[in-house]
Every structure is written in C-alpha cells, then in structure tokens.
Amino acid sequence: MTISELLKTINACIELAKDFKRIDPKLSRIILIEAGPRILPSFSKKMSGHATRDLEKLGVEVWVNKRVTCVAETGVVLGEERILASTVIWAAGIAASGINNSFNLERNLTNRIIVESDLSLKGFPEFFVAGDQARVSDKNGNPLPGLAPVAQQQGQFIAETIKREIKGKSRKPFQ
C-alpha cells in the first residue's frame, strides 16, 4: 500500500466514524509502525516530513525505528513490546526471492542484492540482476522502488549494455 492509499484508507475510516452511534470512534488509536528512520524512504526527506505531519494531523501516531516481529490474533509484537489491536493493516511490502540467499553477496533488509552501478554482480560482470531482486540507488542515494517501470527500464538497460559490449563499447551506469 502506498502512503496516498494509506491516507485514503485513514480518511475513509474518519468518514465512517460518523456512522458509529454506540461507540466513540475518537477512542480509537491508529499507529503507523516503520522499521526505518523515516516513512517513505525512497522519497526525499522533505516529502517524508510532509507525509508524517499530514498523518499526525489526521490523528495517526507515526512510530519510526520500530520493527514488527510478529503479527498475532490479538495485535502486533515489536520485539519486547506488544500492542493490542483488533485491526492490523500490513503495508510493509515484499521481500526479494529466497534464491538470493544462495549467493554470497551483499543484500539489503528486503533481501535485494546490492548490485554494481551497471546492474552486474560484484566480482561477476557477466551476471546482471534487475527489477525487484536488485537494490539500486538513484543519484541521491535513495533506493529505487520495486515498481514495474523500474524493472522494465533495467531490463532494457541490460540489453543495451550487452549490445554495447558486443560492439566493444564500455559500460555505462544505470540511471
């Protein structure tokens, strides 16, 4: 779920709140838990700050540097901490394929392989990794999101790289 979708969901909940007659929806508590130091890590710090403030204005508590270790029927567990909750929305994304574990290569928290700037494997220039399996940064050092356009552009880039190499041309970094 993207932050804009999350905002829409929260707004919808706030709208729905008017329909409850027997309970006071203001007593409900919405906590957004993020493992990293800020939400929207693939966007700028400014965007992340705006989103945090917008969520807080809606009454959402934004917790950063907290990792969910277990989701149970009664709520969520963050290491030693337990939060009782009857509704849990998981929006933490997906991890890269387990096949990445079989390579003795550096990976990030979501198991994506950290590739060279030309998308090849460190020490193995004849192997490339693209799309959701690759951890690639933009020019500001932020990770590229796991989206179809990124995967498609990387696929095209790798094909171009192979064509260039056949012609004896040097490699370029992926942008």
Ligand X SMILES: Cc1cc2nc3c(=O)[nH]c(=O)nc-3n(C[C@H](O)[C@H](O)[C@H](O)COP(=O)(O)OP(=O)(O)OC[C@H]3O[C@@H](n4cnc5c(N)ncnc54)[C@H](O)[C@@H]3O)c2cc1C
Binding region for ligand X (CB under 6 A) out of 48-56, 74-82, 129-137, 163-171: 129-137
132 binds ligand X (CB under 6 A): yes
97 binds ligand X (CB under 6 A): yes
At 77, phi and psi to the nearest 5?
-115, 135
Find the binding residues for ligand X in span 153-172 (CB under 6 A): none
At 105, phi and psi to the nearest 5?
-125, 155
How far is the C-alpha of 29 from the C-alpha of 59, rounded, in Å?
8
C-beta separation of 29 from 61 below 8 A: yes
Q: Which of 139, 148, 166, 170 binds ligand X (CB under 6 A)?
A: 148
Tell the smallest beta-carbon distance from residue 11 to ligand X (Å).
20
Closest CA to 93 of 37, 148, 147, 155: 147
Residue 3: CB atoms within 10 Å: 19
Binding region for ligand X (CB under 6 A) out of 58-66, 76-84, 127-135, 156-164: 127-135
149 binds ligand X (CB under 6 A): yes
Tell the smallest beta-carbon distance from residue 118 to ligand X (Å).
17
C-beta separation of 89 from 33 below 8 A: no
> Where on the chain is the footprint of ligand X (CB under 6 A)?
94, 97, 99, 131-133, 146-149, 151
